[in-house]
């Protein structure tokens, strides 16, 4: 994996992901270590879209490894505001750092950056397309909480049309042999081509429904309605209010069921669910640091 880019979960074989998880276990144990293996490295985090967890966890990961961080988080303060092209920005930053982490609203932007840059590029989210390190966090969380991914019954719930996390995660779950149920409001179903690819490539068990029945679910993975990607904001608001996880929805669920969420969450999960021991999404978010430490180390050929 050293020297490669990480643009899509498709860039990784199952064996590479398992190696990353082993390295993540080591990174998790050494979070408080004084050792700084990347003391002379520079990581550029270029965020052309708002972010909290992804940006800060990448920056935290870099800092814990001893690397310096160049951070772009407000394009109004850069030459892009003067009309500099995206390609020129990437070429310039490529000369200043050892690895580029990029988030952009346009699908395909991270792949373009990787084509232009000589340094490794990590996709931190490109529109509604891919978010591979979030998928690694999600798979790792399931592995940590349920001890395995294979044959685990996972329900992916919410906006499956626009949420990039769900596309990537379905692919990863199929790769690892999970049983997946897709639960979404009408009109926000997963792209049929994505489902077909996962089924044909991994012989994956994938079913679809609009009903929120979680009685056989081991992992309930919820995502918010992607209001910013709707053409009609009023329709987005209506769907968001109608399709939410409440205590009532969870009656009959397994007591040991784990609830995950990529965050941020708005009101798709009721407060009483937040307070339940099943809700593990803030622990899930914490795994973002050791996962991204492992990714950085691998891409820079230091592990």
Q: Print pLDDT tens along the chain (303 aa).
A: 766 999 999 999 999 999 999 999 999 988 877 889 999 999 999 998 888 999 999 999 999 999 999 998 766 656 665 578 999 999 999 999 999 999 998 989 999 999 999 999 999 988 777 889 999 999 999 999 999 999 999 999 998 987 778 989 999 999 999 999 999 988 889 999 999 999 999 999 999 998 889 999 999 999 987 766 666 777 677 777 767 899 998 999 999 999 999 998 888 899 999 999 999 999 999 999 999 999 999 999 998
Alpha-carbon distances of 147 from 141, 164, 235, 242, 253, rounded to whole Å: 9, 25, 39, 33, 19
**CB-count burial class (<10 Å; 0-12, 13-18, 19+) for 169:** buried
pLDDT of residue 237: 73
Displacement of CA 271 from its chain's centroid (Å): 24
Residue at token pair 């961080």: 69
Same domain, 259 and 153: yes
Domain of residue 154 covers 132-283
Domain count, the chain: 2
**Length in residues, the chain:** 303
What is the C-alpha separation between 219 and 201, in angstroms, rounded? Answer: 23
1 within some domain: no
75 within some domain: yes
Same domain, 117 and 165: no
Which residues are registered as beta bridge partners of 181?
155, 207
Alpha-carbon distances of 297 from 29, 273, 286, rounded to whole Å: 15, 36, 18
Cα dihedral 268, 271, 275, 280, rounded to 10, equals: 20
Consecutive H or E run containing 266 = none
Same domain, 67 and 146: no
Same domain, 136 and 113: no
Planar angle of CA 298, 39, 45, nearest 5 degrees:
65
63 within some domain: yes
Same domain, 264 and 148: yes
Given a contact cutoff of 8 angstroms between Cβ atoms, the answer to whether 157 and 222 are in contact is yes
pLDDT of residue 83: 73
pLDDT of residue 80: 62
- Asked if the bond preceding 264 is cis, omega within 30° of 0, the reply is yes
Is this structure's pTM higher than 0.85? Answer: yes
pLDDT of residue 284: 97
165: domain CATH number?
A: 3.40.50.1370
Residue at token pair 């529109």: 127
301 conformational bin, left if phi > 0, alpha if psi -120 to 50, beta if neither? left
Residue at token pair 């394009």: 75
Planar angle of CA 151, 17, 8, nearest 5 degrees:
100
pLDDT of residue 114: 96
The per-residue DSSP string of 267-278 comes to SSB-HHHHTSTT
pLDDT of residue 244: 86
Same domain, 121 and 141: no
Find all residues with CB under 8 Å of 233, minimum gap 6, and list them: 227
Given a contact cutoff of 8 angstroms between Cβ atoms, the answer to whether 241 and 267 are in contact is yes
30 within some domain: yes
């Amino acid at each position: 994996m050293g020297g490669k880019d990480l643009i899509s979960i498709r860039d990784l074989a199952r064996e590479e992901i398992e190696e990353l998880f082993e390295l993540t276990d080591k990174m998790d144990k050494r979070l408080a270590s004084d050792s700084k293996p990347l003391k002379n490295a520079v990581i550029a985090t270029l965020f052309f879209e708002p972010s909290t967890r992804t940006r800060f966890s990448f920056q935290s990961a870099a800092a814990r490894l001893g690397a310096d961080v160049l951070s772009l988080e407000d394009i109004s303060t850069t030459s892009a505001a003067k009309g500099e092209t995206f390609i020129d920005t990437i070429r310039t930053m490529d000369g200043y750092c050892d690895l580029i982490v990029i988030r952009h609203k346009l699908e395909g932007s991270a792949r373009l950056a990787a084509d232009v840059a000589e340094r490794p590029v990590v996709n931190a989210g490109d529109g509604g397309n891919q978010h591979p390190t979030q998928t690694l966090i999600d798979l790792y969380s399931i592995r940590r909480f349920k001890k395995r991914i294979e044959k685990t019954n996972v329900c992916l719930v919410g906006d499956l049309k626009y949420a990039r996390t769900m596309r990537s995660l379905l692919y990863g779950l199929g790769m690892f042999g999970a049983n997946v149920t897709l639960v979404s409001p009408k009109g926000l179903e997963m792209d049929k081509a994505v489902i077909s690819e996962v089924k044909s490539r991994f012989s994956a068990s994938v079913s679809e429904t609009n009903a929120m029945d979680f009685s056989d679910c081991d992992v309930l993975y919820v995502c918010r309605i992607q209001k910013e990607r709707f053409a009609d904001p009023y329709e987005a608001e209506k769907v968001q209010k109608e399709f939410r996880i409440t205590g009532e929805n969870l009656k009959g669920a397994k007591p040991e069921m784990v609830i995950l969420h990529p965050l941020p969450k708005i009101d798709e999960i009721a407060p009483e669910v937040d307070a339940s021991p099943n809700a593990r999404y803030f622990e899930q978010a914490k795994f973002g640091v050791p996962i991204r430490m492992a990714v950085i180390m691998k891409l820079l050929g230091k592990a």
